[in-house]
Structure 1
């Protein structure tokens, strides 16, 4: 049985650490942000002005339909699970999401105040569309009504108990849990996108999930406006999140 997982996260979340956990399974192949180049090719100004832009454009297909076709290709021998780390801000309003409905989709969320604060430490400007939460609301609406559960996992909940959430996900997917998902060797991976030197320092230094700790967030007026614009969507997602007792 082949299992194809789409993990949909905004930026400045635990998405790359989560990818490490799944890549450490011997039965799993991971794909890192396959729509990044397609997103950059279709955006301009500050939205398209990303570190390493030209390298990303050269490394991946820029046609979304070509990306979708690649994700549906047969998996390597001995591999049963495909885990795709998607960035939801790579979706544009006109994108057709019907290709994603057959996947086992999961939404990975984080409070907008923390996302905006982290984002602005790396880039000078930020708009509501840059942090992916509005797009996650769209995904919940478009992928959920088919009858397939779309779990919503809040990063704060997950980091308080990674093993329980990973066990739940494995059970939901019909695959066995392994302790290998809780710890991994430090350093880069061949599967990391070419943008990794710009964004992955903390993950390269990691050997597992960091314990949850509350963040003391202070936003200026512009940052607060972005967080406020995304807060209603986040609160709806948070209300729908998976809570393990």
Structure 2
């Protein structure tokens, strides 16, 4: 384990695709002296030397992103940082819980399956990709929600932690409150700069090469163009026109989401509803 600065915090944010998690990364970047690490396990899962997704042979292998290398990097030296923050998808661990870095506080960001899956479908069918079959090809069985719930249970059982869970809709509707409470949960000081950021700042400099490429196919477009969290009512999604396989995916994901949702940080305005 590396030498650390006094009171340094290390935090993992585990999530599912299309959860506004990259915008949340930008929010965390508003803190001072923070190292933000973007989806290293996802890079390993799709593009690393021991990758599990083998349908991208036209892309070069990211040899620096083996599962072991990632753990060592996350546990490495960040002597000049007060916070080390890593965001990633739970399914990208591929069950390799022995590669979870030690010394981290684990947190979770969820989003309703109807919203995350319809957003995923929207990306898949964009004019750039036009690949209607990506959902089943790219996502594992359980569509990421199953793996996120299983990781949540693993962390509780084997790490003695109760991961802090925040829901994307709560974050959208009550951004200041939820970010403040998240900061309190992970032991860092909230700053107003977390709610507004400069969209011209290049936050992809430290991303893996393949993750940088994905910004050009629309995967991160909204997050990279965003300029902050602005309180608003979450949108209602009409799933009636979605293909049957997307509707089926939503049904598969819903029970896992519901279990995590029950344990989320509840906005103060809604505490009386529980």
Bucket of the pairwise TM-score, normalised by the shorter protein: 0.7 to 0.9
1:35 and 2:41 are equivalent in the alignment: yes
In the aligned structure 1, how far is the partner of 2:172 from the partner of 2:98? 29
1:171 and 2:184 are equivalent in the alignment: yes
Which residue of structure 1 aligns with residue 75 of structure 2?
72
Which residue of structure 2 aligns with residue 18 of structure 1?
24
| Alpha-carbon contact 1:37-1:61 (below 8 Å) kept | no
Q: Which moves more between the two structures, 224-233 or 176-185?
A: 224-233
* CA drift at 1:174: 2.2
Which residue of structure 2 aligns with residue 215 of structure 1?
237
Residues 65 and 117 of structure 1: CA distance in aligned 2, closer, same or farther (over 3 Å): same
TM-score, normalising length from structure 1?
A: 0.88
4+ residue stretches of structure 1 with deviation over 4 A?
none
Kindly report the root-mean-square deviation, in angstroms, between the aligned alpha carbons of the 2 structures: 2.2
Which residue of structure 1 aligns with residue 129 of structure 2?
none
**Selected match of 1:54 from 51, 59, 71:** 59
TM-score, normalising length from structure 2?
A: 0.79
Which residue of structure 1 aligns with residue 105 of structure 2?
104
* CA drift at 1:98: 6.4
Residues 34 and 16 of structure 1: CA distance in aligned 2, closer, same or farther (over 3 Å): same
1:16-71 per-residue CA deviation (whole Å, 9 max, x = no partner) reads 000001112122110000112310142246xx459xx726x33x623101110001
Matches within 5 A, 1:184-195: 184-187=197-200, 188-189=202-203, 190-192=205-207, 193-194=211-212, 195=214
Unpaired stretches in structure 1, ≥5 consecutive residues: none
Which residue of structure 2 aligns with residue 204 of structure 1?
224
Q: What is the SS of the residue equivalent to 2:107?
A: strand
Q: What is the SS of the residue equivalent to 2:43?
A: helix
Which residue of structure 1 aligns with residue 265 of structure 2?
242
| Alpha-carbon contact 2:239-2:247 (below 8 Å) kept | no
- Over alpha carbons, which structure has the higher Rg? 2
* CA drift at 1:102: 3.4
1:193-241 per-residue CA deviation (whole Å, 9 max, x = no partner) reads 4133332211222101253322233322111111111111111111121
Unpaired stretches in structure 2, ≥5 consecutive residues: 1-6, 125-131, 269-274
* CA drift at 1:82: 0.6
